[in-house]
């Protein structure tokens, strides 16, 4: 990928952050938290402001970093009956680790934190919930981060989202925790502000070791010269080590209030200075990187660029390119969604064309005798690529956030599965395949979409049962009203729209193909007859529930091919035989079967 005319937005983002009200409100809350009881060790947290916004400030208990730089795994916490962060896990990352000092503080104040969390959750349920700012300095920032993560597990993200702002906080977790949040929108809730005069943020990092700790969220690096933002974890780790190694000898003795002064200075400054050091740079991205290093105090304008600095610039350049690629991928997501809708509309048109040909879209695609079949193959391929990526993204989200996205994609994913999986099945059996469902041939994302659909159905059924119990207690007039409502039930809707419907079971045609294979091989055993009877019952139950499209009865369809062979050996009494012999397909399409 060429990087010409590419820019890093770190300086612009930094300028936006230091001029935003929440950052200054957060620091003011930390100062106020210290002043509540200045003669005693700071309490773990105080509610500084109770509304618009709600501000919670976490203090910095003395000596809490000493000897506690180790990590404790979520599995160990679970064994100790402290599994409050398990919801952050996903399918590929079942275990992560958290800083020992932070989790010990969290554990020792658990009851108080639980009361605070419940209060904030209740506030979020109001019609106009307040913005929540959670802040902390040093190890207080670590606990603020943990508390915010814990709170996120109980909030409806669509309604409210807390903002966690830390100052000079050490890193809170390992690479696995970072990966748990990698595809999550939750990581946008975290802003970590780091001064080049503050040695605390690199407490668990070393230039000589890769280290187990990894950052997540947005980091604002600042100095007296300027500031810059970054979200790239490798870049952040590199900058933490580099910045602090250059400033280790100039640690500010009055760092307790250093952040307030530097934020005020940066708020007044314009970050559009052109440094002499970058006048020779023709590469825009590299010029941006050097400007950022000058702004955060890693470089000075008088400093000559040695091998170490050049290596750092090259690393940052690679990190920025990777980030630019990711941002471009994210910006393409809306376009991909629109393209997916267009592909689905084209397959709907293909389905109508197949019906006019009296063959049905499954068999028309299986035979591939028309030019439009080639286009349908392209639409199928693009849709499968899109939904495979969507399902993978959901699987990589934390458990609770995954559930939210699962509901969001419930209808779109179900329609896609019912429209496209039959075409995938057609390719499988046309190429001589068998045992689509039982032989491990079914793509994983179809399986997951179906599982999510069934889970939603179970929840809906549970709600219906609860509603039914309430209705039984109502008066006769209310029962009569409910009978009127019953006319608008899902079953009536399915009857009225059955003519244009898709099969509820996206694997219906795989079952038809397996039944055809049984007939082709000869029904010689009781087991074969039993399987055919199972398929007959499966079809009958689907018909009773209006769960299949009337297209299955088109004269050229694979189902009718199966039926024309099977009706000669079907054993009476047979409900399906009576249905087919008494104009059942016509009544079914007209919605008059039941």
**DSSP state letters, 566-580:** HTTTPPSS-HHHHHH
Give percent above pLDDT 90 in the chain: 35
Tokens of 408: 């969001």
> Which class for 304: exposed (0-12), middle (13-18), buried (19 or more C-beta within 10 A)?
exposed
The mean-pLDDT minimum among 316-325, 356-365, 507-516 falls in 316-325
What number of other Cβ atoms are within 10 A of residue 235's Cβ?
21
DSSP state of 58: E
Confidence at residue 273, expressed as pLDDT on a 0 to 100 scale:
47
pLDDT in tens, 547-566: 999 999 998 999 999 999 99
- Which H helix or E strand runs over 236? helix 233-247
Confidence at residue 207, expressed as pLDDT on a 0 to 100 scale:
47
What number of other Cβ atoms are within 10 A of residue 244's Cβ?
23
**CATH code of the domain occupying 10-270:** 3.40.50
Confidence at residue 300, expressed as pLDDT on a 0 to 100 scale:
62
**Mean pLDDT to the nearest integer, 404-417:** 74
Contact 506, 422 (CB under 8 A): yes
Confidence at residue 147, expressed as pLDDT on a 0 to 100 scale:
96
pLDDT in tens, 300-345: 655 556 666 777 777 777 777 776 666 666 556 667 878 888 999 9
Confidence at residue 116, expressed as pLDDT on a 0 to 100 scale:
94
Report angle CA 459, 462, 463 to the nearest 5 degrees: 90
**Mean pLDDT to the nearest integer, 382-388:** 93
pLDDT in tens, 285-300: 777 777 777 777 666 6
Task: Determine the straight-line distance between the first and last CA of the chain, rounded to whole angstroms.
Answer: 61
Report angle CA 414, 418, 423 to the nearest 5 degrees: 140
Closest to 520 measured CA to CA, from 564, 565, 552 = 565
pLDDT in tens, 482-508: 544 444 456 666 666 665 678 999 999
Distances (CA, A) of 101 to 33, 106, 140: 21, 9, 10
| Residue 275 in this model has a pLDDT that exceeds 80 | no
Closest to 62 measured CA to CA, from 139, 172, 135 = 139
Confidence at residue 183, expressed as pLDDT on a 0 to 100 scale:
75
Domain spans, the chain? 10-270, 334-474, 487-594
Tokens of 151: 């709170």
Query: Alpha-carbon distance 198 to 202, whole Å?
Result: 9
Contact 60, 140 (CB under 8 A): yes
| Residue 520 in this model has a pLDDT that exceeds 60 | yes
- Which H helix or E strand runs over 266? helix 258-268
283 vs 246, more confident: 283
Q: In the structure, what pLDDT confidence band is assigned to residue 390 with cuts at 50, 70 and 90?
A: confident
Most confident of 20-34, 47-61, 407-421: 20-34
**Mean pLDDT to the nearest integer, 106-118:** 92
Confidence at residue 344, expressed as pLDDT on a 0 to 100 scale:
93
Confidence at residue 239, expressed as pLDDT on a 0 to 100 scale:
80
Query: Alpha-carbon distance 435 to 346, whole Å?
Result: 29
pLDDT in tens, 192-213: 999 988 888 887 775 444 458 8
pLDDT in tens, 116-175: 999 998 888 887 888 899 999 988 999 999 999 999 988 866 567 899 999 999 999 999
| Residue 468 in this model has a pLDDT that exceeds 60 | yes
Confidence at residue 191, expressed as pLDDT on a 0 to 100 scale:
96
Contact 450, 416 (CB under 8 A): no
1 vs 356, more confident: 356
Q: What is the DSSP string of 530-547?
A: HHHHHHHHHHHHHHHTT-
Confidence at residue 589, expressed as pLDDT on a 0 to 100 scale:
82
Q: Average model confidence (pLDDT) for the chain?
A: 81
Query: Alpha-carbon distance 355 to 504, whole Å?
Result: 18
Confidence at residue 250, expressed as pLDDT on a 0 to 100 scale:
44
Q: What is the DSSP string of 140-164?
A: HHHHHHHHHHHHHTTS-TTT---EE
pLDDT in tens, 219-234: 999 888 888 888 888 8
Q: With left for phi above 0 and alpha for psi between -120 and 50, is residue 299 left, alpha or beta?
A: beta
Q: In the structure, what pLDDT confidence band is assigned to residue 351 with cuts at 50, 70 and 90?
A: very high
Tokens of 585: 């397909």
Confidence at residue 22, expressed as pLDDT on a 0 to 100 scale:
93
Burial 116-149 (b: 16+ CB within 10 A, else e): bbeebbebbeeeebbebbbbbbbbbbbbbbbbbb
pLDDT in tens, 438-465: 888 999 999 999 988 888 778 777 777 7
Confidence at residue 404, expressed as pLDDT on a 0 to 100 scale:
56
Query: Alpha-carbon distance 134 to 166, whole Å?
Result: 8
Query: Alpha-carbon distance 266 to 18, whole Å?
Result: 7
Query: Alpha-carbon distance 122 to 125, whole Å?
Result: 5
pLDDT in tens, 238-251: 788 776 554 444 44
Sheet harboring 218-222: ordered strands across? Answer: 45-50, 54-58, 132-137, 163-167, 190-195, 218-222, 227-230
| Residue 517 in this model has a pLDDT that exceeds 50 | yes
Confidence at residue 101, expressed as pLDDT on a 0 to 100 scale:
85
The mean-pLDDT minimum among 96-100, 367-371, 445-449 falls in 367-371
Q: What is the pTM of this model?
A: 0.65
Closest to 503 measured CA to CA, from 515, 494, 516 = 494
Pairing of strands 190-195, 163-167: parallel
Phi, psi of 203 (to 5 degrees): -55, -35
Q: In the structure, what pLDDT confidence band is assigned to residue 274 with cuts at 50, 70 and 90?
A: very low
Tokens of 207: 């230039």
Contact 53, 45 (CB under 8 A): no
Tokens 């990894």 belong to which residue?
214
| Residue 381 in this model has a pLDDT that exceeds 50 | yes
């Amino acid at each position: 990928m060429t990087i010409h005319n590419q820019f890093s937005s770190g300086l612009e983002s930094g300028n936006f952050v230091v001029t935003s009200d929440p950052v200054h409100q957060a620091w003011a809350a930390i100062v106020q938290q210290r002043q509540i009881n200045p003669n005693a060790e700071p309490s773990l947290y105080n509610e500084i402001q109770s509304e618009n916004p709600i501000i919670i400030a976490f203090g910095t208990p003395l000596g809490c970093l000493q000897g506690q730089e180790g990590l404790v795994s979520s599995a160990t916490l679970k064994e100790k009956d402290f599994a409050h962060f398990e919801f952050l896990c996903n399918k590929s990352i079942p275990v992560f680790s958290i800083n020992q000092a932070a989790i010990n503080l969290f554990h020792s104040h658990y009851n108080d934190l639980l009361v605070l969390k419940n209060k904030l959750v209740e506030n979020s349920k109001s019609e106009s919930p307040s913005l929540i700012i959670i802040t902390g300095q040093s190890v207080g920032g670590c606990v603020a981060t943990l508390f915010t993560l814990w709170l996120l597990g109980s909030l409806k993200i669509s309604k409210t989202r807390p903002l966690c702002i830390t100052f000079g906080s050490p890193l809170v977790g390992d690479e696995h925790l970072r990966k748990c949040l990698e595809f999550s929108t939750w990581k946008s809730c975290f802003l970590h502000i780091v001064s080049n005069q503050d040695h605390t943020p690199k407490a668990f990092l070393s230039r000589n070791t890769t280290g187990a700790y990894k950052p997540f969220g947005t980091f604002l690096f600042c100095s007296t010269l300027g500031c810059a933002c970054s979200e790239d974890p490798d870049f952040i780790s590199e900058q933490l080590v580099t910045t602090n190694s250059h400033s280790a000898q100039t640690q500010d003795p009055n760092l307790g209030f250093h952040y307030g002064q530097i934020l005020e200075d940066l708020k007044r400054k314009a970050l559009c200075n052109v440094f002499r050091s970058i006048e020779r740079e023709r590469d825009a991205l590299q010029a941006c990187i050097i400007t950022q290093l000058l702004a955060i105090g890693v470089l000075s304008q008088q400093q000559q660029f040695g091998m170490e600095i050049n290596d750092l610039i090259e690393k940052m350049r690679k990190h920025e390119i990777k980030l630019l690629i990711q941002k471009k991928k994210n910006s393409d997501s809306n376009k991909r969604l629109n393209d997916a809708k267009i592909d689905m509309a084209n397959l709907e048109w293909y389905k109508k064309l197949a019906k006019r040909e009296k063959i049905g879209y499954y068999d028309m695609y299986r035979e591939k005798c028309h030019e439009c079949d080639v286009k349908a193959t392209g639409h199928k391929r693009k849709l499968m690529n899109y939904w495979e990526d969507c399902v993978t993204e959901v699987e990589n989200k934390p458990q609770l956030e995954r559930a939210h996205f699962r509901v969001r994609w419930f209808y779109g994913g179900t329609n896609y599965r019912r429209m496209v999986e039959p075409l995938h099945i057609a390719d499988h059996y046309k190429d001589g395949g068998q045992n689509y469902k039982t032989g491990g041939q079914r793509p994983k994302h179809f399986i997951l979409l179906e599982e999510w659909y069934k889970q939603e159905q179970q929840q809906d059924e549970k709600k219906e049962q609860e509603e039914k119990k309430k209705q039984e207690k109502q008066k006769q007039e209310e029962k009569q009203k409910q009978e009127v409502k019953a006319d608008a039930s899902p079953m009536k809707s399915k009857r009225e729209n059955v003519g244009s419907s898709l099969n509820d079971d996206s694997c219906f045609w795989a079952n038809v193909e397996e039944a055809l294979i049984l007939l082709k091989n000869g029904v010689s055993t009781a087991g074969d007859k039993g399987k055919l009877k199972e398929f007959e019952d499966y079809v009958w139950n689907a018909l009773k529930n209006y769960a299949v499209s009337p297209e299955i009865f088109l004269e050229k369809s694979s189902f009718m091919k199966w039926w024309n062979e099977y009706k000669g050996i079907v054993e009476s009494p047979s409900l399906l035989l009576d249905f087919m012999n008494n104009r059942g397909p016509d009544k079914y399409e007209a919605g008059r079967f039941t």
